[in-house]
Amino acid sequence: MLSFNNVTTLNEFIIGRQSEFPYAKGELSRLLSHIGIAAKIVHREVNKAGLVDILGEAGQVNIQGESQKKLDVFADEHFIGALKASGECCGIASEENQDIITFEEELANDGKYIVTMDPLDGSSNIDVNVSIGTIFAIYRRLSPVGHKAKIDDFLQKGTKQVAAGYVIYGSSTMMVYTTGRGVNGFTLDPSIGEFCLSHRDITTPHSGTIYSVNEGNYFKFPEGVKKYIKYCQENDTETKRPYTSRYIGSLVADFHRNLLKGGIFLYPSTASYTDGKLRLLYECNPIAFLAEQSGGKATDGKGNRILDIKPESLHQRVPFYVGSRQMVNQAEEFIKKYDSNLD
Ligand code: P6P
């Protein structure tokens, strides 16, 4: 492993691991490095958001019908710019854009990869200084190199992800990613402007005592989910219940905590979101890839592995149960027992 002064930077790590990809010629490494550059730019704006006119509404509404924050638009523009500049990405599906983003430039259309991303997830937390995040996934294109990306490039199962990760803009800024050989975390050292390896080979606990769900939706949940939540709240010293309820309302922050400490995150179907709220392409698939690579599990609550779901549309939503394997299995048992009609 390359390092300097016992510090391994993101780029050193990427290059060091490149040898694990026999056919790689550095394209994926270059793409990941450019994502790191965009993350540093967004970090800079997020960290001074209270001081400059970057908070508040952008006066636009995105495809989700959600009002766009100025930082949403800023992050979207900078990640698109960085991915295009890498010359390795021929197209992007972004939470902030209705259709896929393709490029006129020949260099970009020679790119072998496409990226799905939520450039700034957790927007409702931006103006109140709560952790937010960027989520990304990288796939090999299916369409011929040298042409514009096509919609089918983006409607691949999560099992086809070449890499996936997130950036969490919190008490520190971290980038956590996988290329299918484990999960590693890098903490940004602003004094040198580098992401430095801080969490090597992250393994999530097999079980835990944290459950993360928006209990404000309780009465809209399927019966099995209600029963599981009550199970989490019952007293049982042997299984350390009641568990601890932790919910920030920012997927990256909630997942990151549970990844390190053990726990389960649930966004079930509700009366308002009959297919769940979270999007398959750029929220659930990348997080599911990370969960499985660290020893956890991710399903739709009905026994379907998130990564096996064939996407039908860019912004498709899916119920999401992710985290410690034993806890996801237990939640599914409750759903199976009380919600047989969900099949
Ligand atoms: P709710 C943020 O808007 C987000 O997409 C995820 O980051 C988060 O987990 C979820 O929505 C929160 O949704 O309905 O609980 O506010």
| Residues 219, 207 contacting (CB under 8 angstroms) | no
Q: Which CATH number fits domain 210-338: 3.20.20.150, 3.40.190.80, 3.30.310.40, 1.10.10.10?
A: 3.40.190.80
For 193, residues 6+ apart whose C-beta sits below 8 A from its C-beta are 40
* Residue to substitute in 277, 279, 281, 287 for testing ligand 1 pocket (most ligand atoms within 8 angstroms of CB): 277
Closest residue by Cα to atom 14, ligand 1, is 214
Q: 11 vs 206, which has greater pLDDT?
A: 206
Q: Which atom of ligand 1 is nearest to the CA of 122?
A: 2
Question: pLDDT tens, 199-247?
Answer: 999 999 999 999 999 999 999 999 999 999 999 999 999 999 999 999 9
Q: Which residue type does 59 have?
A: G
Question: pLDDT tens, 250-296?
Answer: 999 999 999 999 999 999 999 889 999 999 999 999 999 999 999 99
- Nearest-CA neighbor of 150 among 139, 158, 161? 139
CATH fold of the domain at 4-199: Fructose-1,6-Bisphosphatase; Chain A, domain 1 (3.30.540)
Q: Is 327 helix (H, G, I), strand (E, B) or coil?
A: helix
**Ligand 1 centre distance from Cα of residue 147 (Å):** 36
Cα-Cα-Cα-Cα dihedral sign, residues 210, 171, 79, 54: positive
Chain position carrying tokens 């649930």: 266
Question: pLDDT tens, 158-195?
Answer: 999 999 999 999 999 999 999 999 999 999 999 999 99
Cα separation, 113 vs 142, whole angstroms: 9
The pLDDT-based confidence of 311 (bands split at 50, 70, 90) is very high
- Nearest-CA neighbor of 249 among 224, 274, 217, 281? 217
Domain with CATH 3.40.190.80 in the chain: 210-338
Cis amide linkage into residue 205, ω under 30° from 0: no
Domain with CATH 3.30.540.10 in the chain: 4-199
Q: Are strands 297-299 and 320-323 parallel, antiparallel or unpaired?
A: antiparallel
**Ligand 1 centre distance from Cα of residue 273 (Å):** 12
**Ligand 1 centre distance from Cα of residue 214 (Å):** 9
The pLDDT-based confidence of 127 (bands split at 50, 70, 90) is confident
124 lines ligand 1 (CB under 6 A): yes
**Ligand 1 centre distance from Cα of residue 16 (Å):** 36
> What average pLDDT score do residues 286-307 get?
97
Rg of the chain on CA atoms, in Å: 20
DSSP 8-state class, residue 124: G
* Residue to substitute in 169, 267, 281, 317 for testing ligand 1 pocket (most ligand atoms within 8 angstroms of CB): 267
The answer to which of 56-70, 79-93, 103-117 has the lowest mean pLDDT is 56-70
277 lines ligand 1 (CB under 6 A): yes
> What average pLDDT score do residues 84-94 get?
96
Cα separation, 252 vs 265, whole angstroms: 11
Q: Which atom of ligand 1 is nearest to the CA of 66?
A: 3
Question: What's residue 46's pLDDT?
Answer: 86
Could you tell me which residues are beta bridge partners of residue 115?
92, 138
Q: Which atom of ligand 1 is nearest to the CA of 216?
A: 15
| Residues 15, 9 contacting (CB under 8 angstroms) | no
Cα separation, 244 vs 1, whole angstroms: 38
DSSP 8-state class, residue 281: I
The answer to which of 54-68, 72-86, 110-124, 178-192 has the lowest mean pLDDT is 54-68
The pLDDT-based confidence of 335 (bands split at 50, 70, 90) is very high
121 lines ligand 1 (CB under 6 A): yes
Residue 304 pLDDT > 60? yes
Question: pLDDT tens, 18-67?
Answer: 877 655 668 888 999 999 999 999 999 888 766 656 666 666 766 676 66
Closest residue by Cα to atom 9, ligand 1, is 251
Alpha carbon distances (Å) from 160 to 114, 142, 246: 11, 11, 32
DSSP 8-state class, residue 58: E
**Ligand 1 centre distance from Cα of residue 122 (Å):** 6
Closest residue by Cα to atom 10, ligand 1, is 249
